[in-house]
Structure 1
Amino acid sequence: MYQLSTVRDSLDLVSINNNLVDCSAGAIVDWANQQFGKHLVMSTSFGIQSAVMLHLVTQIVPDVPIIWIDTGYLPKETYIFAEELTNRLNLNLKVYQSEMSPARMEALYGKIWQDKNVESLNLYDRIRKVEPMQRALKELKAEAWLAGLRQNQTKFRQQLEYVNKQGEHYKILPILRWSSRDIYEYLTEHDLPYHPYFDKGYVSVGDWHSSRPLSATDGDERDTRFHGVKQECGLHLPLSNDEAQSLDSSQL
């Protein structure tokens, strides 16, 4: 159906994305599996619509390592939802946490998620999310990373393609151009659940202290995260050289 390079270090992303533009989400997952094999991983947040990607990918790559970053501040309902989906879909789940415990972080830096400024929130995300994710990618020898980002979620995501390069890894986004209706129809067709917070008015959920239900004044769903100060937690943003070096766990 499409001819792609087999040399991963020299992938022609323009050609690849042009070839994938008319492919289904499943075909994109299948391409990623053929291209990267045992070096392919997936990430999940067990958020509102996470069942879609978890089901879609594991129908094609049942044993793909699935990285879940547990910040230690997730709602009780998220932990229960994660347990239920893990058992139902027989997930090969790999749970990673910061090497700095929540108690130690609060002792050294305070409850920095309460500070409604980008610097404090970025520090929180670097400690609790970005460092463990980078460690997971390294330990699992990942070359490529499947994620459920969609273009209609944030301004940053509007510029993404199906296959992107983020640092040393390829980021593959099979449902990038899916609409909310596509998500709903997939969940319904396969009898998959939303996160329990969906019934409470949430359209996106992360940590309990920085997620809230959607309101009439919100411009988009990501305004309900991080006190409306920012839209991205850092997991899907490229790191500068200085940021990459700062993630050395000995410096935390």
Structure 2
Amino acid sequence: MAPVAVESSSLPPANSLSKDTKISLTPEHLKFINSQLQHLEPEQIIQWAILTFPNLYQSTAFGLTGLVTLDMISRMRPEYAKQHPIELIFVDTLHHFKETLALIDRLKARYPSAKLHIYKPENCETTEDFVKNYGDRLWETDESSYDFLVKVEPIQRAYDELNVRATLTGRRRSQGGKRGDLDIVEVEEFTGLVKINPLANWTFKDVHNYIKEHDVPYNELLDRGYRSVGDWHSTQPVKEGEDERAGRWAGKAKTECGIHETSKFAKYLSAKKQSQPAEVAV
């Protein structure tokens, strides 16, 4: 692995940060880091992230890119196959395709040492619970509230409860939309969370070829034309010649679910934190 000229010796060891501690990167430092990582291979970027950031996780919906990341990590070192070094976070929106949920069981069998944390909408275990609490077809009647309740709030709760300070994502520039000018490393504006996009430079063909070459379990919907899979009600197959994520929210200008648009939901998050009772020492 080629050396990366990034100082990390000043960072505390993994999983040692308190909940009130944030990793601070200046714009100049962030620009320098991205210039150093831009031309490295995904495996090199992932290994750099593992060595550099404490409290590092992988947040994934088990799309193709996330699956490549998971498999790459398992192959990096012999000990990684026996003890996966990165814990995973999956948000179960309670509106996933059955094929997506079935994939999770196959992945657990393939990568048994990879610890998986599953988060659901608050106070909901089933779709029926969600409908009871928030009404039917909320994604049609109040799309922003739906995105916050099933995606943004659960992932932010996961970050908070697990004390996540940096996370690997599956975003790529070739996915288009707001991801077209994606950096390798970003800092979330509202929370200060560091996001690393190790496969930002790869295309759909690149990730698909990797999946086939290494026989990585993948979502069966891929073989039915679904190149990007989200909730069942807002995902459809992609037509020939369309962008990879054209099947998400088809007919709308929307390209993101909110998980990567935290600043958009900053007021929701602030209101939620302020409504939580303060801890009282007794």
Distance in 2 separating the partners of 1:246 and 1:111:
24
Displacement of 1:106 in angstroms is: 2.6
> Does the alignment pair 1:211 with 2:235?
yes
Asked if the contact 1:51–1:194 (Cα under 8 Å) also holds between the matched residues in 2, the reply is: yes
- What residue identity is the alignment partner of 1:9? S
Distance in 2 separating the partners of 1:5 and 1:79:
40
Asked if the contact 1:121–1:226 (Cα under 8 Å) also holds between the matched residues in 2, the reply is: no
Query: What fraction of aligned residue pairs are identical, expressed as a percent?
Result: 33
Displacement of 1:18 in angstroms is: 0.6
> Does the alignment pair 1:174 with 2:198?
yes
Give me the CA root mean square deviation. 2.2
Q: For 1:110, which of 106, 116, 136 is the aligned residue?
A: 136
Alignment deviations for residues 48-69 of structure 1 (CA, whole Å, 9 cap, x no partner):
5542122123434613110000
Distance in 2 separating the partners of 1:4 and 1:70:
36
Larger radius of gyration: 2
Distance in 1 separating the partners of 2:106 and 2:250:
29
> Does the alignment pair 1:65 with 2:87?
yes
Question: How is 1:93-132 mapped onto 2 (pairs within 5 angstroms)?
Answer: 93-101=116-124, 102-107=127-132, 108-115=134-141, 120-132=142-154
Q: For 1:35, which of 19, 39, 52 is the aligned residue?
A: 52
Structure 1 alignment gaps of length 5 or more: none
In the alignment, what sits opposite 1:136? 158
In the alignment, what sits opposite 2:167? 145
After superposing the two structures, state which structure 1 stretch, 129-138 or 224-233, moved more: 224-233
In the alignment, what sits opposite 2:280? none
- What residue identity is the alignment partner of 2:268? E
Structure 2 alignment gaps of length 5 or more: 11-22, 277-282
Distance in 2 separating the partners of 1:163 and 1:56:
18
Asked if the contact 1:211–1:225 (Cα under 8 Å) also holds between the matched residues in 2, the reply is: yes
Question: How is 1:229-244 mapped onto 2 (pairs within 5 angstroms)?
Answer: 229=252, 230-240=254-264, 241-244=266-269
- What residue identity is the alignment partner of 1:4? V
Asked if the contact 2:236–2:248 (Cα under 8 Å) also holds between the matched residues in 1, the reply is: yes
Q: For 1:83, which of 83, 93, 105 is the aligned residue?
A: 105
Q: TM-score, normalised by structure 1?
A: 0.88
Distance in 2 separating the partners of 1:9 and 1:106:
40
